[in-house]
Amino acid sequence: MNESGLAQQLLNLIGGKQNINQVWHCATRLRFTLKDRAKVPKDKIEALDGVITVVEASGQFQVVIGNNVGDVYHEVVKLKPSLSEGETSGETAVQGKMTFKSAFNSLLTFISGVFTPFLGAMAGAGILKGLLSLAVVMGWLTAKSGAYQIWWAAADGIFYFLPIALAFTAAKQLKVNQFVSMAIAAAMVSPGIVALGAKATTIDFFGIPVVPANYTATVLPILLVVVVQKFLEPVFNKLWHESVRNIMAPLCLLVVIVPLTLIVVGPISATVSSWLATAIVSLNKSVPILAGLVLGGFWQVIVIFGVHWALVPVMMNNIAQNGTDLMMPILLPAVLSQAGAALAVFLRTRDAKMKSLAGSSTITALFGITEPTIYGITLKLKKPFYLACVAGAVGGMIVAISGAGANAAALASVLSLPTFIGKGFGLSVVGDVVAFALGTVLTYFFGGINAGAKTKTAPSANSELGEALAAPVKGVLVPLTGLADEVFASETMGKGVAIVPENGMVKAPVAGVIRLLYPTGHAIGIQSDKGSEILIHIGIDTVNLKGKHFQPLVAQGQHVEIGTPLVQFDHEAIEKEGYESTVMMIVTNSDQYQIATLGQGATDDRPVMTLA
């Protein structure tokens, strides 16, 4: 059963949102506080495909899902959005120490999350754009034919009016008035403003000169606008009495934010775009190989922030003045590297939904439309996006060395290759192939694609040699079966050991990659280099502490060696709060191994389990 189906059945059996006071999730469980427990058939929930077991403890109805619990939780919230209002996941509610990396990852997560609701429409429109370009190249249609114009409107509409769609989804995430956000976005792409932007016509707003910019198909401006709305909307809501608030607050927001957008955001966007265009053109003339690295490596980053349109007229002017443009061929590796990364996700992912989206996004990217690929696949998974940028930089440098140029303006895609025929064409094709292949290979092996995936992986070939697991913490071994937690005691999650800690430092029991790490710090998942999947859970029901007394020391996706410090915790403070501080180490794919436990005495970093 998929996550959506499981979420629907869970809600039905629990009695709908009207029987739920609160819902959140920890490392493996959906945790409910219910209004009437008697209405809920525990046995039927346990029988659901995808549910491991059900536990009732601490006044909570806990549905054990496993590593896929986060996906199921989000599906529950999708079905009943009101459950998420003030009912944040126990894992994500806690804010850890803010770092540049965490802030940047949060920004990328927000941007990619904004695109998720309409990725299917974008993917379909992107494929249609590619097919229309192919039809023109092959002579099946002309750009002036009625069929082409109608289908082009169908393909281009979602991209042209992208700010309106983004306004709706961003406003939903930031919990502001979605329709006011859409009204602001509609003003930004209204015909009059677009026309003024195209002509660079300066208009006057009470003595303030305004130079409208072209906001069609942009991303960053509307996201910044919705953030501004997030701060101003509560102010105007408090200003007006509830009898007129629903009218006057939106009126004030439109009166203030639309001029503010055109006066501030427009000029900033135009200035950044102008600087970017000038810098890249100068770089391309003076140091081609560096231009190849920058354009090939960072073009998709430029696309994300919506300032790539500044280079379009530059490229067209190059063709008009010189007959060729050297930038367009360099952009193709950036596009193809994203297609390669999407292909790697398609080949490796065990998630059926992600596989389907990755397959269509690969085709879309080959045709030059990378937005569905970026926002739905590579940026969402983070590592594939970074690796694709590396591949694009390598391919871009090769193309730059070739000196190939485009003799006609076209979308950077496999269909634009005929426009590059001439000087350096052969080497430029080599650069394109390298970018695509390198994007595929890097992402396939190093993209962390199945981090936290539900489907179990078979042990690697190296697992035949056996694997020893060190104690994650110094202390005394105790049997899992004696624990007060039914899930761990029954070995439902897998076989393992429990350790009563003598200190507060959890270390890596094996060399591997951190696949699951919750901000609360009480649970961490590792996939070893030899294929075992290990869950370390500190304490029983310690998710209720919401990160108090825990300090994660590593990042998700990080490779660690045996003995690497993972989490520091205060076991004495945890016990004073009324919780057990016993540390559990569970091999969640233990059904693939023969497991032996070594000794029952005090442990340090010596082996306590062997897998064969």
Residues with a catalytic annotation lie at: 26, 537
- Contact between 582 and 499 under an 8 Å Cβ cutoff? The reply is yes
Give the whole-angstrom CA distance, residue 518 versus residue 29: 13
DSSP string covering 241-284, please?
Answer: -TTTHHHHHHHHHHHHHHHHIIIIIHHHHHHHHHHHHHHHHHHH
DSSP string covering 390-433, please?
Answer: HHHHHHHHHHHHHT--BSS---SSGGGGGGG-STTHHHHHHHHH
- What lies within 8 Å, CB to CB, of 46 at 6+ separation is 53, 54
**Closest by Cα among 182, 179, 162 to 119:** 162
Give the whole-angstrom CA distance, residue 392 versus residue 337: 5
Query: Alpha helix locations (H) across 422-569?
Result: 425-446, 486-489
Cα dist. 606→438, 474, 479 in Å?
40, 9, 17
Q: Give φ, ψ of 424 to 5 degrees.
A: 75, 10
**Closest by Cα among 166, 119, 149 to 370:** 119
Q: Return the SS3 of 152.
A: helix
Give the whole-angstrom CA distance, residue 366 versus residue 377: 15
Give the whole-angstrom CA distance, residue 517 versus residue 411: 40
> Considering all CA atoms of the chain, what is the largest pairwise distance in Å, rounded to the nearest integer?
82
- What lies within 8 Å, CB to CB, of 235 at 6+ separation is none
Token couple for 582: 């016993």
Helix (H) or strand (E) holding 130: helix 119-137
**Cα angle 353, 354, 358; round to 5:** 125
Cα dist. 136→204, 286, 407, 410 in Å?
43, 35, 16, 11
Give the whole-angstrom CA distance, residue 357 versus residue 211: 39
Query: Alpha helix locations (H) across 447-583?
Result: 486-489, 571-576
